[in-house]
């Protein structure tokens, strides 16, 4: 457990996790789940490593956090992720009853919070977290841009 980090530091940890994932060939997206100012789970994208299309950073982190806490509802938890969550992850964040969502870069092509379906604002969404966007945005966007530039 990492204690006493403030909000920007939690995003720094998510960014570091993203950067390491990028070095391993995964799309550099990182996620941290925090409860009572303690890190409960840290995860990066693992879709290639696990041959799992659902292994987005948020899903991997939510699963780990739920297992550690021993509940499928992460009511006192805040989630930090470097990129705007997609439709699947927005759904999972809602099911997990996450309290606050902090994300870095917006994702106009694949996001589902302020882009695309805007899941949390839809009538079929039964729990929406408080959303804070743009936290560590420039660093998150830089990691992704560099990753995809190197692969072109
Ligand atoms: Zn996702």
Distance set, CA 142 to CA 51, 53, 104, 105 (Å): 26, 24, 11, 9
Question: Cα of 43 to ligand 1 centre, how many Å?
Answer: 12
Ligand 1 centroid to residue 31 C-alpha, Å: 11
Helices (H), the chain: 7-23, 47-50, 57-69, 87-95, 137-151
62-112 confidence digits (pLDDT tens): 999 999 999 999 999 999 999 999 999 999 999 999 999 999 999 999 999
Residues involved in catalysis: 58
With bands split at pLDDT 50, 70 and 90, how would you rate the model's confidence at 1? very low
pTM over 0.95: no
Q: β-strands 38-44, 30-35: how paired?
A: antiparallel
Using the mean position of ligand 1's atoms as its centre, give its distance from the Cα of residue 70 in Å. Answer: 23
Residues with CB under 5 A from ligand 1 (ion): 56, 86, 88-89
Whether the CB-CB separation of 98 and 74 falls below 8 Å is answered with yes
The Cβ of residue 91 has, within 10 Å, a number of other Cβ atoms equal to 18
Distance 36 CA to ligand 1 centre (A): 25
């Amino acid at each position: 457990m990492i204690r006493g980090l403030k909000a920007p530091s939690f995003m720094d940890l998510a960014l570091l996790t993203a950067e390491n994932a990028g070095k391993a060939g995964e799309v550099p997206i990182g996620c941290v789940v925090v409860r009572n100012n303690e890190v409960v789970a840290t995860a990066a994208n693992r879709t290639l490593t696990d041959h799992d299309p659902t292994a987005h950073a948020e899903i991997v982190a939510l699963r780990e956090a739920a297992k550690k806490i021993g509940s499928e509802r992460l009511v006192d938890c805040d989630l930090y992720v470097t990129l705007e969550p997609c439709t699947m992850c927005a759904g999972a964040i809602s099911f997990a009853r996450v309290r606050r969502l902090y994300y870095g870069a917006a994702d106009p092509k694949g996001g589902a919070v302020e882009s695309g379906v805007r899941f949390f604002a839809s009538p079929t969404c039964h729990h929406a977290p408080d959303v804070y966007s743009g936290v560590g945005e420039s660093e998150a966007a830089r990691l992704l841009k560099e990753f995809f530039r190197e692969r072109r």
